[in-house]
Structure 1
Amino acid sequence: MNILSKKEILCTLGPSSMNDWVIKRLESLGVSLFRVNLSHTKIDDLPKVIRKIQGYTSVPICLDTEGAQIRTGNLLDGKVMVKENNTIRISKILVDGDGNVFNLNPVDIIDKLEVGDLISIDFNSVLVHVIERDTEVITVRVITGGLLGQNKAVSVDRKISVPALTKKDYQAINIGKEMNIRHVALSFANFGKDVDEIRSVAGEGTFVISKIESYVGVNNIEEIANKSDALVLDRGDLSREVPIEQIPRFQKEIISRAKKFNKELKVYVATNLLESMITALTPTRAEVNDIFNTLIDGADGLVLAAETAIGTYPVQCATMVSKIIQQFMEYSSSSSSIMAFPLKDNSCLLAEPHGGILVNRINTNPDFNKIKAYKEFRVDISELLDAEQIAIGSFSPLEGFMTKNELESVVENCRLPNGLVWTLPIVLQVQKDKVGEFKIGDDLALSFDKDGEIYSTFHIDDIYSYDLSEIANKVFGCDDYKHPGVNLLMKKGEYFLGGKVELIKRLSSKNKYIEMTPKQTRIVFKNKGWNRVVGFHTRNVPHRAHETIQLLALERYHCDGLFIHPLTGYKKDGDYSDYIIRKSYELMINNLYSGKNVFFTLFQNYPRYAGPREAVFTALCRKNFGCSHFIVGRDHSGVYNYYEKDSAHKLFSSLGDIGIQPIFFNEIHYCSKCLRYTDKCIHNKQDILEISGSHGREMLKEKKALPAWFMREDISEFIICEINNGKEVFL
C-alpha cells in the first residue's frame, strides 16, 4: 500500500449542491467523482439530473444503487410523529403514508416479515414490533416513538434476503449506459455474485464500487474485493449491525484486509465524516481527528454524503476535507516534527503570500529609550505609508526599502533578484545634500515631516544613487513631469537608502476602524469558509461598470467571495477624498450587496499612477491579503492618456503565473437597446453609452446628477448632497 498515493474526494450531489456554482467549485477543489443517490432520485428525473451535471462538469458521475436494503415509502407530509404503544399498518398496496399506514420499499418485502420481528427505522429513531400479519398488510406496535421519515433506512433483527438490485436500479443503470455513465456503486454488497450481477447489467469497462455496509458483506469481503474496482466502507449502515464502539476496529481491518486481497483496489470511507458541518461552518475536533486517522488507516478517499447533498455548506465541507488531506500528506512525507517549525496556517487553501511567507515587521515591544538615540530622518506620508504596509505584510516578500540590487532588478526585469515577480520600486529616497549624513549600518527613526512623530525604525544596508530618468522611463513609460508618478519620483532625490524596517506605531486615520492587515483578512476569509476570493482595487467611487465586472467575476470564476479593497491615503488633486470613497462603498455594500458574499475594507497606501506595472503590483498585494483572483480593468491604474488601454493585460500575460489569477475586462458600456451592461454589442454606436469615471467625476463636480444607468441614484445623490454641505468630496 502506497500511503502517499493521491487521496480522493467523492461528493454526493443533492438539493444543496445541484447547481452550476457549487458543482464547479467542488470540481476546482479536486473532487474526483460525483455521486447520485438513487434512493433519493426518482427514476423519471434521472436523465434530467445526469444532463444537468454533465452540462456543468467533466468530472465522472457515479450512480449509487438502492441495492439490497429496505426503506420507508412515501409519506403524505414527508414525515410523521408516531407515539409509543400506537399500532400502525404496513401495506403491500401503495398508499400515501401517514401515522396509520405506510409502505416499505420494496413493497413486497412484507412477505418475508413475521410476527415477532423487531423493525428499526432510521437508526433506531423509531422501533416497532410486528404483532399481526395477513397477505397484504402487517400490523406493528410502536415500541419507541419518534419522528418517522420517508425513504429512511429500515433494518430487521434477523437476516432477510433482499435482491442485490431493485427494478429501479436496473432501469437507472440502463439509462446511465445510454448517457455514458461508466461508474456504478452497489449498495449493500453481500456476496461476490452481487458484483457479478451489477457488472452484467452495467456492461464491460464499468468501474464498480461495492459498498460494505452489512455484516454479511464484511464476512465475504475477499470475494467482493476481488471482483470490484473499489470499495466504500459505509460506517453508518454498518453500525446498524455492528456495535458503534467496534466501528473503528472494523474500519482498520476492512481497509487492511481488502488491500491484501486486491492490491489495486481502492477503498473509500463514508458516513458522518463532517456531520456537524451540515449546519455549522466549522467541524468538531473529533471529526477532524477521525478523518485524519481514517487516512492513516489507508483509505484512498473520503465520501461526503449528506454534507454536500443537503448541508448548508457543501463547498466548505469539501474544502475542509481537502485541507485535512493536505495535512496528512505533509505528515506522511516528512520526517520532521510539525513542532520544529514556526506555526503557520499552511493547511489553509487561500492563496499563499507572495514568496511563501507573510512578512511581519511589527515591533510590539519597542525600546523607546533606545529609539530616541537613533538618528532621526524626517520623511513624508508616502514613505511612512510604505513602511507600514511593508511591516504588516501587504508588500510581502519585501522586508524593507529596496537595495540597489533589488531596485535594478525590478526596474529592468519586473522581478526581484531571486526571480520572484515584482513590478514597482519601493524605495526610500534622499536628496544629494543630505545623503552624506548617513552611513551603512546606521539605525534611523523615521518620523513624519509634518509633526516629528516617529512611526518606524530603519536599518541602512545600502546607500546608492540611480538615474531617475531611467527609473521613470522604465516604470512609468515616460519622464514627463506632468505625470503625477514621475513628478513624485523626481522631486525626492537621486540617492536611495536600502534596508529593513520595523513598525513601532501605525499611522492614525479616520478610516482605521475599517482597515485590516493581510493576516486579519486571511482570518476573515477562513472564518467565512472562503478560499477562492476575487479582489477588486479602486481609487474611485463605484459606478455601474464596477458593479458589472465585480458580479461577473464572482459568477464566471465561481469564487466564494468578493473582496472590495479601495485605496485610501495620499492621492493627487482632483481625486475623490477617502471619506467619499468609504461612504459610497458603504452605501453600495448595504444596499446592493447586502446578504451577498462580499467583504469590504480599505487599503491605506497611495496610487503610483504606474499603469500596467501598478496593476500587477496591486494584484500581488491582494494575493498577500488572501485573494486567489484579481479584477484587471481595461485601463487599470492608468492616468490621463499615458498608457495603452490593454497594456496591463499584456504585462500580466508576459509575466506568466504569479500566484493570483487576473480576470481581464474590457471597457463596460451600457446598451440602450439591450438594456444591459456589456463589453460587446451588435447595436449601433449611438445606442452604446460610455461609462467613464473621469466624465462622471467632472459631472459631479458641477453638481449634475448622473443617470441611473451610469451610477446608482443613492450614490450619485449622496455625493452631490455632500458637495452642497461643504464636505470634502474632491482633493
Structure 2
Amino acid sequence: MSGFVVWFTGLSGAGKSTLAAMLSAELRARSVHVEVLDGDEVRTNLSKGLGFSKEDRDTNIRRIGYVAKLIARSGACAMTAAISPYKAIRDEQRAQNPRFVEVYCSCPIPVLAERDAKGLYKKALAGEIKNFTGIDDPYEAPENPEVVVYTDKETKEEGLAKILAKLEELGYVPRRGAAVAVSGAAAAGAAAAGARGLIAPHGGELVNRWAEGAEKASLAERAKGLPVIALDERTESDVEMIAIGAFSPLRGFMNSKDYLRVVREMRLENGLPWSMPITLAVSEQAAEGLRVGSEAALRARDGRIVAVIELSDKWRPNKELEAQEVFRTTETKHPGVAYLMGTGPVYVGGEIRVLERPVESPFPAYDRGPAVTRAYFAEKGWRRIVGFQTRNPIHRAHEFITKTALEICDGLMIHPLVGATKSDDIPADVRMRCYEELIAKYYVKDRVLLSIYPAAMRYAGPREAIFHALARKNYGCSHFIVGRDHAGVGSYYGTYDAQEIFNAFSPGELGITTLNFENAFYSTVVGAMATAKTAPGDASTQVNLSGTKVRELLQRGELPPPEFSRPEVARILIEAMRKSS
C-alpha cells in the first residue's frame, strides 16, 4: 500500500497523543507500518533549541512535515501529534503530502482546564504564563479537516472509530481481516517480522541503556565529578530493568508529564498505555544540588557508581494523589504506600546510561533479559508464548492454570519475581528450588522456560497486573496469565479487579493477550483440578486451603493434601521453615 500522513491537531490536552497511540496500535494490528512523530518528543530531539515564537513554531512544524513526507514516501503511515496552531503552515504540509488526513481534536478550554493536572491553563488564564496557545496566543482551528473528534463529548473509542472509518473510506488502510498487499521495503520488513514471529516490544523498540566500550569509559570518568543520587533496593532494580529493556519504551526515570498522565490516566504523555509510575525520589538536600539540564551519578547501596542520569525534570509530586490513584488507598499499612511515603519529597526525571549492574544476579543460570528470551523463543520456533508471573511457590492450582494456558500456546515462561518483596514473602532461593523440582517432574521440559524477573514488587494489584503484562510483552510473550487477586495485598482490591482493569483499553492497544482464570481447586466431584466454571458442587467438594492453613501444616512438618500441593514442593518448604525457625 502507498504511504500516507495522519496529522493530529488541537489544543494542548485535547487528546491528540492518546488517539494517535490508539490508532497506531490498531493500524499495526492490520499490518500497516506506522511511525509516530509526537510533538514533545520532536521538540526534545529534532527541534531542540527552538522557542515558541511564530517563526520557531513554523520551523518546528516544517521539520515534522518533512520527516512525515519521507516516512510516507517509503510506504508507511506517518502520524503526527503536535498542536500545530497555524492554518497556513498546516496547509503547507498538506500541499507537500498528497495522501494527507487532518484530524482535528476539538475540546473547549474550560474542559481542558479541568483536565489539566499541572494547572497550566488556569495559570495562563490568570496571566501567569504568557504566549500560551489558545489563551493569549492564537490557535486557528481547521476549516475542512477530514475528521473532527469532539473529545469533550465522544469517547476515545468513538473517536478512533471515526478516524478508522475515514481511512478505510479513502482506501488508505485495509478493513479488519482484509488481505494486505505489500511490496519493496515494506514486504521485506513484513517478511522479517514474520520470520521472527514474535510480538513487538511495547512502543515498537526494545530499549538498551547499557553504556559500552569507549562511551562507558568516558562516562565513568565524567561521573567522578558529578553530584550523586543514592539508589535504594527498588530503584537499583528499576535501573537494571530500564537498562535491559524490560521497561521499554522507558529510557530512564519518568519526567513530570509522563508521571502525571500515568497517575491520572494510565498512559504516557505520548498516549501509550502504561500503568505504573517509574520515578526517582531524592531528599530536599540532594535536590538543591541537582540542576535540570545537567547530569548526576547514580550510586548503588554498596557505594559503586552504576549509572548516569541526564536530568530533564525536577518537581514535587502529590504523593497522596499518587497513592490513591495507583494503590487505591493512602493507608501506610499498604506496603506500596509505605514505601512511597518513605521516599524523598522531590522527584527527578531523565534518561539514564548504565555502567554496570546495580546488584549481582542471585540466580545467574536463570538470568535472561528480554533480548535473550526473545532469541530463545525464536530459536525454539515459538510464536505464542504465555508468561506466568509469580512470587509464591507453584501449587496444584497454579500448575493447573499454567498447563491449561500452555494448551493454546507453543511455550510457557515461568517468570518468578526475585526483586524486593515483603519480609513475610517466601524467600526467592526457596521458591526457585520449588520451581526447579516441579518443572523437572511435572512439566514437559521442552515447552517450559524458567527465567527470573529481577523487578521489585509494588503490590499495586490491578495496575501492577497491566505493568506485569507489558513487561512480559517486552520479554517476547504474546499471552499473559492473570489469576485471582494478581499482585494484591490484604483486602485492598477485589478478587478479579486485576482482570477487569484491562477493559480500560481498547483491543490491540496493549498488544498482549491476557488469559483470565478463576480460582482453581481440586474437585472431588470430577476427580481433577477445575474451577467453578468446569466443576459442579460447592465448597465442600473443593480442596482449597487458605494460605494460613498451609503455613500451619508446613510449620508442623505435615504435608498438605496432594490435591493441593505436590509433595516434592511441600518438602522443600518444610525444610526451609525448619532452617529459619
TM-score (normalised: structure 1)? 0.52
Specify the code of the residue in structure 2 equivalent to 1:488: Y
Distance 1:565 1:590 in 2: 16
Counterparts of 1:386-397 in structure 2 under 5 Å? 386-397=238-249
Change (3 A) 1:684 1:385: closer
Specify the code of the residue in structure 2 equivalent to 1:496: Y
Kindly indicate whether the alpha-carbon contact (under 8 Å) linking 1:535 and 1:562 is maintained by their aligned counterparts in 2: yes
Deviations 1:146-167 (A, max 9, x none): xxxxxxxxxxxxxxxxxxxxxx
Q: Does 1:713 align with 2:567?
A: yes
SS at structure 1 position matched to 2:351: strand
Change (3 A) 1:493 1:662: same
Counterparts of 1:251-650 in structure 2 under 5 Å? 332=184, 334=186, 347-365=195-213, 366-367=216-217, 368-449=220-301, 451-506=302-357, 507-555=359-407, 558-650=408-500
Shift of 1:379: 1.4
Identity of aligned residues (%): 36
Q: Which stretch shifts more, 480-489 or 681-690?
A: 681-690
Distance 2:285 2:194 in 1: 48
Deviations 1:700-720 (A, max 9, x none): 345432211111001101221
Change (3 A) 1:462 1:3: closer
Per the alignment, residue 136 of structure 2 pairs with none
Change (3 A) 1:505 1:727: farther
1:690 to 534, 537, 544: 544
Larger-gyration structure (1/2): 1
Per the alignment, residue 674 of structure 1 pairs with 526
Distance 1:683 1:568 in 2: 37
SS at structure 2 position matched to 1:603: coil
Change (3 A) 1:333 1:646: same
Change (3 A) 1:434 1:702: farther
Change (3 A) 1:622 1:432: same
Change (3 A) 1:704 1:456: farther
Kindly indicate whether the alpha-carbon contact (under 8 Å) linking 2:397 and 2:520 is maintained by their aligned counterparts in 1: yes
Shift of 1:682: 2.0
Distance 2:317 2:379 in 1: 45
Deviations 1:203-236 (A, max 9, x none): xxxxxxxxxxxxxxxxxxxxxxxxxxxxxxxxxx
Counterparts of 1:222-241 in structure 2 under 5 Å? none
Per the alignment, residue 94 of structure 1 pairs with none
Specify the code of the residue in structure 2 equivalent to 1:598: V
Specify the code of the residue in structure 2 equivalent to 1:437: G
Distance 2:550 2:210 in 1: 40
Shift of 1:698: 4.9
Distance 1:695 1:570 in 2: 25
Distance 1:660 1:395 in 2: 15
Q: RMSD of the TM alignment (CA)?
A: 2.5
Distance 2:554 2:199 in 1: 39
Distance 1:369 1:668 in 2: 55
Kindly indicate whether the alpha-carbon contact (under 8 Å) linking 1:377 and 1:447 is maintained by their aligned counterparts in 2: yes
Change (3 A) 1:377 1:669: same
Per the alignment, residue 267 of structure 1 pairs with none
Distance 2:310 2:278 in 1: 15
Distance 2:376 2:488 in 1: 31
Specify the code of the residue in structure 2 equivalent to 1:476: F
RCO greater where, 1 or 2, for CA within 8 Å and sep 6 or more? 2
Per the alignment, residue 558 of structure 2 pairs with 704
Change (3 A) 1:334 1:563: closer
Number of residue equivalences: 397
Shift of 1:694: 5.4
Deviations 1:269-315 (A, max 9, x none): xxxxxxxxxxxxxxxxxxxxxxxxxxxxxxxxxxxxxxxxxxxxxxx
Change (3 A) 1:430 1:550: same
Distance 1:424 1:410 in 2: 7
Kindly indicate whether the alpha-carbon contact (under 8 Å) linking 2:439 and 2:445 is maintained by their aligned counterparts in 1: no
Distance 1:696 1:353 in 2: 39
Counterparts of 1:27-66 in structure 2 under 5 Å? none
Distance 1:369 1:386 in 2: 23
Specify the code of the residue in structure 2 equivalent to 1:674: V
Deviations 1:135-183 (A, max 9, x none): xxxxxxxxxxxxxxxxxxxxxxxxxxxxxxxxxxxxxxxxxxxxxxxxx
Shift of 1:509: 2.5
Specify the code of the residue in structure 2 equivalent to 1:686: S
Distance 1:694 1:661 in 2: 33
Distance 1:694 1:346 in 2: 48
Shift of 1:617: 0.4
Kindly indicate whether the alpha-carbon contact (under 8 Å) linking 1:3 and 1:332 is maintained by their aligned counterparts in 2: no
Distance 2:2 2:286 in 1: 63
Kindly indicate whether the alpha-carbon contact (under 8 Å) linking 1:532 and 1:629 is maintained by their aligned counterparts in 2: yes
Shift of 1:643: 0.2
Kindly indicate whether the alpha-carbon contact (under 8 Å) linking 1:670 and 1:691 is maintained by their aligned counterparts in 2: no
Change (3 A) 1:694 1:421: farther
Kindly indicate whether the alpha-carbon contact (under 8 Å) linking 2:226 and 2:295 is maintained by their aligned counterparts in 1: yes
Q: Which stretch shifts more, 661-670 or 372-381?
A: 372-381
Specify the code of the residue in structure 1 equivalent to 2:469: A
Kindly indicate whether the alpha-carbon contact (under 8 Å) linking 1:444 and 1:458 is maintained by their aligned counterparts in 2: yes
Deviations 1:237-287 (A, max 9, x none): xxxxxxxxxxxxxxxxxxxxxxxxxxxxxxxxxxxxxxxxxxxxxxxxxxx
TM-score (normalised: structure 2)? 0.65
Distance 1:698 1:432 in 2: 46
SS at structure 2 position matched to 1:607: coil
Kindly indicate whether the alpha-carbon contact (under 8 Å) linking 2:384 and 2:478 is maintained by their aligned counterparts in 1: yes
Kindly indicate whether the alpha-carbon contact (under 8 Å) linking 1:545 and 1:691 is maintained by their aligned counterparts in 2: no
Shift of 1:352: 0.4
Any stretches of 5+ residues in structure 2 without a counterpart? 4-29, 31-179
Per the alignment, residue 67 of structure 1 pairs with none
SS at structure 1 position matched to 2:250: coil
Counterparts of 1:125-164 in structure 2 under 5 Å? none
Distance 1:590 1:569 in 2: 24
Distance 1:457 1:644 in 2: 40
2:504 to 651, 654, 671: 654
Change (3 A) 1:414 1:701: farther
Kindly indicate whether the alpha-carbon contact (under 8 Å) linking 1:467 and 1:494 is maintained by their aligned counterparts in 2: no
Shift of 1:332: 2.4
Shift of 1:349: 1.4
Specify the code of the residue in structure 2 equivalent to 1:651: I
Change (3 A) 1:597 1:439: same
Change (3 A) 1:444 1:529: same
More helix per residue: 2
